[in-house]
Amino acid sequence: MLSTDQWATIRGLVAWLDSENGRSQQEITLRILKLTEEVGEAGQAWIGVTGQNPRKGVTHDRADVADELCDVIVTAAVALASVIDDPAGHLNVKLAKIAARSGVDA
C-alpha cells in the first residue's frame, strides 16, 4: 500500500501530466493504456531472467523485473488518481475487500 508521502508524489505526477497534456478523456485513456506497456515490459524482463528466448539467453535479473513492476505500480496509481478524487481511500477499501475474500488480515 502506498504511504501518504507516496500518494503526494503520485498527485504531483498527475499534476505534472495534467499541466503538460491536460486531462481529457483521451488523455485518461492513454494513462490507462500506458499500463499495458509497463506490464509488457515487466513480462519481457521476466522472460529475460528465465532465458526463455534461446536467441537472446539471459538478458535481465530480478532487480530489472522489480524495477518494471514498480513502473506498473506507479503507472496504475497515476491512472487511478486521474479518474477518482480519493485514490488512497479507494485502494484501501478495495484492498480490504480482497483481503477479506482471501482470509488475509487487512
The answer to whether 86 touches 25, Cβ cutoff 8 Å, is no
Exposed/middle/buried for residue 78 (C-beta within 10 Å: 0-12, 13-18, 19+): buried
Give pLDDT tens digits for 80-96. Answer: 999 999 999 999 999 99
Predicted local confidence at residue 105, as pLDDT: 82
Q: Residue 54 phi/psi, 5° resolution?
A: -65, -25
Structural domain total, the chain? 1
Give pLDDT tens digits for 9-49. Answer: 999 999 999 999 999 999 999 999 999 999 999 999 999 99
SS3 106: coil
Enter the pTM of the model: 0.92
Predicted local confidence at residue 2, as pLDDT: 87
The C-alpha cell at 81 is 488518481
Split at pLDDT 50, 70, 90, the class of 106 is low
Which domain does 81 fall in, by range?
Answer: 4-102
